[in-house]
Amino acid sequence: MLGKDTVNSTSIARTAVEDGSAWLGIEFGSTRIKAVLIGKDFLPIATGGHEWRATLADGVWTYSLDDVWAGVQAAFADLAANVRDQVGAELRQVKALGVSAMMHGYLAFDGDGGLLVPFRTWQNTMTQEAAAELTQLFQHNIPQRWSIAHLHQAILKGEDHVGEIDYLTTLSGYVHWKLTGERVLGVGDASGMFPIDMSTGTFHEEMLGQYGELIADRGFPWQLRDILPTARSAGEDAGHLTEEGAKLLDPTGTLQSGAAMAPPEGDAGTGMVATNAVARRTGNVSAGTSIFAMVVLEGELKELHEEIDLVTTPAGDLVAMAHCNNGALDLSAWVSLFGEAAKALGAEVDTTTLFETLYRAALNGTPDGGGMLAYNYLAGEHVVGMEEGRPLFVRHPSSDFSLANFMRTHLFSTFGALRVGMDVLADEGVRIDSMFAHGGIFKTEGVAQGFLAAAMDTPVSVGEIAGEGGAWGMALLAAFLDAGEASLGDWLSEEVFADAEVSTMDPDPRDVEGFNQFMERYRRGLSIQRAAIDSF
């Protein structure tokens, strides 16, 4: 089980590779395809990776299917080479594997398996009309990036290809289909295609019927339920790696077919697994270019909230997702500016020291940040109704303008929009026992972690338990196929993370009160943000 060590011992790893008992996870991220091989102690044996990027073609953010296969073959080849170098064995077989990828988006195929239009990724914001109409129809929030929003927008636009659709899926579902021949999808990723009925763990039949009635006069030769994949929960059979599939991963022919396949999942779900945040009343926060929180709910929300996405864990439990477009980039820009100033003065300060020094300065600020205000909106922020971004820093003449308060204000700002979304859940009576946070902003011990705990008034944990990220989480889901009757949450807590070393900070009452005061200014000051968008 996961403990102090961070790598698998060579002897254990070699045995797992040679007897084919290792588990493999592959994840298609937005900038990197990553493969992670783990052994029976769930530690990484080796990793492999390949960089890739979306392209903008005719106004659509996309990845070509040729790049999908070239990329995963490169990642697998890198993994196999690292296995040889690190444990001295050839990767010929794995016990089970699974594929994860960026959630949602639109991949539509005809009856011959041909791609009808270029892959439309989650990055596209072209479905506003469809998303709004479907949200009202279902009384269930349908974000623009969901597959059903893309499908309906294509219908509203009269796109010719729609009548030819035989199969509609996500990126992880597409790769899994080609590796196994099975049209299935993990319920977590499926919940970003179309709403899930929590009582069945499958697509919501009543809403499928409503949609059928909505488009009945269009005369399409398909019913929506027939072109969607079958939703499967973690631990359920999702097929086996075929000979053709093995050659798609490894054209050299070294990798053998026959491995069990876990239901393919979305990156949000594998992130929850990698941070042990799949049990009810737990959650995780991921902070990077964007920032989002996922909270596993105890039951349905009472009202429709367009600020909150409703998805599921890989086990099928309902999850509320508060997603914000803006994370730590504006904060990093300010740190870089201070670095330029230091360099102009002749000081040589490495990046790590610069961040740590400035972040720690925030600990000496007044609890509310000295009466100042900042917005980190480099892009629009739907949670607060802003379609564009204008990064802002505002202070009153009477504000306590110091480095400590300046840094505290900008760190608070990183969590501001997230707090707006979390307040929606608090008003719904949602309770959270624990949160796990990950991302570069939390590397300076005890700073951003403590401020997030104050923002959420909830204990926040950080540590190394996220391993190799979503690819590692997918490898764990492959291992979970052997877990028998255990629930995913119990299995993760008792088998994988029982000895994991994490650091937990409880919210400091002074910081909680200070963050609340900051948020009062933050909400009032949104009119400043609106004026900046209109005027600048």
Helix or strand or coil: residue 60?
Answer: strand
Query: Same structural domain for residues 319 and 336?
Result: no
pLDDT band (50, 70, 90) for residue 466: low
How much of the chain exceeds pLDDT 90, in percent? Answer: 85
Predicted confidence at residue 469, as pLDDT, reads 81
- Give residues with Cβ within 8 angstroms of 6, minimum separation 6: 43, 44, 464, 467
Query: Same structural domain for residues 305 and 349?
Result: no
pLDDT band (50, 70, 90) for residue 467: low
Predicted confidence at residue 1, as pLDDT, reads 55
User: What does pLDDT average to over the chain?
Assistant: 94
d(Cα 141, Cα 207) in Å, to the nearest integer? 12
Tell me which DSSP letter residue 507 carries. Answer: P
Helix or strand or coil: residue 391?
Answer: coil
Q: How far, in whole angstroms, is CA 421 from its chain's centroid?
A: 16
Query: Same structural domain for residues 346 and 396?
Result: yes
For the segment 179-196, the average pLDDT, to the nearest whole number, is 97
* Alpha helices (H) in 267-389, listed in sequence order: 267-274, 329-344, 351-361
What pLDDT digit, counting tens, does each position of 438-462 carry? 888 998 999 999 999 999 999 999 9
Got the DSSP string for 227-270?
A: HSPEEE-TTS---B--HHHHHHH-TTS-S-S--EEPPPEEHHHH
Q: Is residue 463 part of a domain?
A: yes
Domain that holds residue 462: 273-325+419-506
Whether 314 contacts 233, CB under 8 Å: yes
Task: Name the residue with tokens 């909830």.
Answer: 458
Predicted confidence at residue 34, as pLDDT, reads 96
Give the closest residue to 20 by CA, choosing from 104, 75, 83.
Answer: 83
pLDDT band (50, 70, 90) for residue 135: very high
pLDDT band (50, 70, 90) for residue 4: very low
What pLDDT digit, counting tens, does each position of 369-394 carry? 999 999 999 988 988 989 889 999 99
Q: Is residue 285 part of a domain?
A: yes
Query: Same structural domain for residues 404 and 424?
Result: no
pLDDT band (50, 70, 90) for residue 188: very high
Query: Same structural domain for residues 499 and 442?
Result: yes
Q: Is residue 56 part of a domain?
A: no
Q: Is residue 27 part of a domain?
A: no
Give the closest residue to 372 by CA, choosing from 520, 203, 502, 273.
Answer: 520
> Residue 245 pLDDT more than 60?
yes
Query: Same structural domain for residues 385 and 428?
Result: no
> Residue 5 pLDDT more than 60?
no
Q: How many domains does the chain have?
A: 2
Predicted confidence at residue 287, as pLDDT, reads 87
Q: Phi and psi for 267 in degrees, rounded to 5?
A: -65, -30
Q: Is residue 321 part of a domain?
A: yes
Got the DSSP string for 108-152?
A: EE-TTS-BSS--B-TT----HHHHHHHHHHHTS---TTSHHHHHH
Query: Same structural domain for residues 531 and 490?
Result: no
Q: How far is CA 153 from CA 48, 127, 354, in A?
A: 37, 6, 47
Give the closest residue to 227 by CA, choosing from 189, 193, 195.
Answer: 193
Predicted confidence at residue 6, as pLDDT, reads 44
Q: What's the token pair of residue 159?
A: 């796109």
Give the closest residue to 280 by CA, choosing from 430, 423, 457.
Answer: 430
Look up the pTM and report it. Answer: 0.87
d(Cα 241, Cα 390) in Å, to the nearest integer? 49
Angle (deg, nearest 10), helices 351-361 and 329-344: 110
Angle (nearest 5°) at CA 371 between 366 and 374: 105
Q: What is the CATH number of the domain that holds 495?
A: 3.30.420.40
pLDDT band (50, 70, 90) for residue 290: confident
Query: Same structural domain for residues 491 and 424?
Result: yes
d(Cα 356, Cα 445) in Å, to the nearest integer? 9
Q: Is residue 57 part of a domain?
A: no
Q: Is residue 471 part of a domain?
A: yes
Q: Is residue 120 part of a domain?
A: no
* Alpha helices (H) in 260-402, listed in sequence order: 267-274, 329-344, 351-361
Q: CB atoms < 10 A from the CB of 455, how many?
A: 26
Is 412 buried (19+), middle (13-18) or exposed (0-12) by CB count in 10 A? buried
Q: Is 264 left (phi over 0), alpha (psi -120 to 50) or beta?
A: beta
Tell me which DSSP letter residue 92 carries. Answer: -
Q: Strand 291-296 vs strand 318-324: parallel, antiparallel, or unpaired?
A: antiparallel
Q: How far is CA 222 from CA 177, 212, 228, in A?
A: 20, 10, 10
Query: Same structural domain for residues 320 and 345?
Result: no
Query: Same structural domain for residues 491 and 519?
Result: no
Query: Same structural domain for residues 435 and 499?
Result: yes
For the segment 189-218, the average pLDDT, to the nearest whole number, is 96
What pLDDT digit, counting tens, does each position of 32-62 carry? 999 999 999 999 999 999 999 999 999 899 9
d(Cα 108, Cα 114) in Å, to the nearest integer? 8
Predicted confidence at residue 502, as pLDDT, reads 87
Query: Same structural domain for residues 427 and 385?
Result: no
Whether 120 contacts 60, CB under 8 Å: yes
Amino acid at 147: S
